[in-house]
A and B are shown apart, each in its own frame.
Chain A
């Protein structure tokens, strides 16, 4: 019994130390946990700071890549940059062709667009008022800033006219004709918001009427033209001169002045057809711009150096597709008959003559076909498309071509109507765009901090060269 009491007392004493040590252990463990938590918070924060720097390093690398691609269109080998202690390496993974991009103009499909170099003028009707403004084009210098011009247009029709290339010094940036079958008014728009107007122009705005802005005798003039006749409106003097032209053509301003010269004599027997397209191209390779007119029933070409006009008309047939193409050795026109048959004819030195149709010419083109380094572009199967004549592959661009014009000074651009409204396809014949995918890996002291992919959309500029337009980061 005595022994048991002593033993019990000894255990009690030991228990005090055990309790103290246990409590201490718990407290020390808690402290260790606190330190561990604090360590992880600090590590997380350091990681966040490193990640922020890695993103900036990748953006810097993308900036360098953009400069390299903008210069030559290609980057030879990987791109490596070091920013804030983080090294980012960009390496190309893939490159795929993509359809030439469309530039959405943000106006309804019944609007109009014309060159206003280096931008584009757009017109849109709202009730009985026409709103016209100038939009900038991506990759081009900013155009002069203008407000939105408001022109009363009633229920009539309107035409928008722009310069071919650089606007004349001090002249209007673009012009607008508003009217109907009885006559029209012409407005020249000068930035920022000045409008010169010439009213009471005795020229009907009918389907097939074309408008262009030119410099004649040092004066800015608007030429309104339809088959067989035209009206030259001098915006500076306010005068109007009526100009005749042979059937199948319409007046035009050439290097030597207004073609053709002479007094206007209305021919009551002349049936005024509808000019559906006008091409200004150097057909005879003499370095001078020649004229081609395509109407609903005829084709005509004027060699500007000689003044010789060739005209072609096939009874019962109408032009279905045309263009200055390598496959036709110059200007070629496909004549369609109501029974579905068709035949290509080409312009030779002696005039138009039959030619063989083969390869790309056998496709179901409609309207103008333009040729470029990337192939042939035009309306194919109901929408704008690019055909590679070597492989036969067709790249659908989309939209329906309303007209062809040179907006950016780099060749034929198509104004197309889509469900969303009017869009521009800039130099579609220059070839397809490209989409490149690059891997971006950022490291610090050999450890990978951030890994992403960079998608680079390469678009063709006015010179046909590919340049990066959009860059998008893809996480993961």
Chain B
């Protein structure tokens, strides 16, 4: 038999390195993507809860302007397994406009702000 005729089985070392490298890079990217997705999903869920809390807080003041004296109020609300900080502030602007502002900070970060104006 001719030595040169011996069939070569399997992959070469360089080929294996190259394939493994590609796979590792892709797997790393996948891990990063999955992590980012999960964080993003938590952020969205948290902002959704924060928006619901802000809307509830805004609705709790009713259709009329907030009573005097105006000022700010901070509360902490536990909801959906997290702790949310709710800040409500009422102030009077020139022209007799009363502004009611509700800010809710969600645990993963980010602020949901809602604002309403009342005219006298």
Contacts and interface: CB of A to CB of B under 8 A. Distances in A.
Contacts of B116: 56, 59-60, 83
Contacts of A64: 117, 119
Interface stretch (A12-20, A168-176, A402-410): A12-20
Interface of B: 2, 5, 7-8, 11-12, 15-16, 18-19, 22-23, 25-27, 29-30, 33-34, 36-37, 40-41, 43-44, 47-48, 51, 54-55, 58, 112-120
A13 B34 contact: no
A56 B58 CA distance: 9
Given A56-B115, A84-B113, A42 B5 contact: no
Contacts of B117: 60, 63-64, 81, 83
A194 interface: no
Contacts of A49: 47, 51, 112
Contacts of A81: 117
B contact patch SS: helix
Interface in A17-35: 17, 19-21, 23-24, 27-28, 30-31, 34-35
B30 A30 contact: yes
18 contacts: A16-B19, A17-B15, A20-B22, A27-B26, A27-B27, A31-B33, A34-B33, A38-B44, A45-B51, A52-B114, A53-B113, A53-B114, A60-B118, A63-B119, A64-B119, A67-B119, A83-B115, A84-B113
B22 A24 contact: yes
A17 B114 contact: no
A393 interface: no
A23 B44 contact: no
A42 B115 contact: no
A161 B42 CA distance: 67
Contacts of A24: 22-23, 25-26
Contacts of B2: 2
A139 to B, nearest CB: 15
A32 to B, nearest CB: 8
Interface of A: 2, 5, 9, 13, 16-17, 19-21, 23-24, 27-28, 30-31, 34-35, 37-38, 41-42, 44-45, 48-49, 52-53, 56, 59-60, 63-64, 66-67, 81, 83-84
B115 A9 contact: no
Contact of B7 (A9, A27, A41): A9
Nearest to A30: B30
A16 B114 contact: no
Nearest to B21: A20
B44 A16 contact: no
Contacts of B8: 9
B22 A45 contact: no
Given A59-B116, A60-B118, A31 B7 contact: no
Given A9-B8, A45-B47, A45-B48, A38 B19 contact: no
Nearest to B7: A5
A5 B5 contact: yes
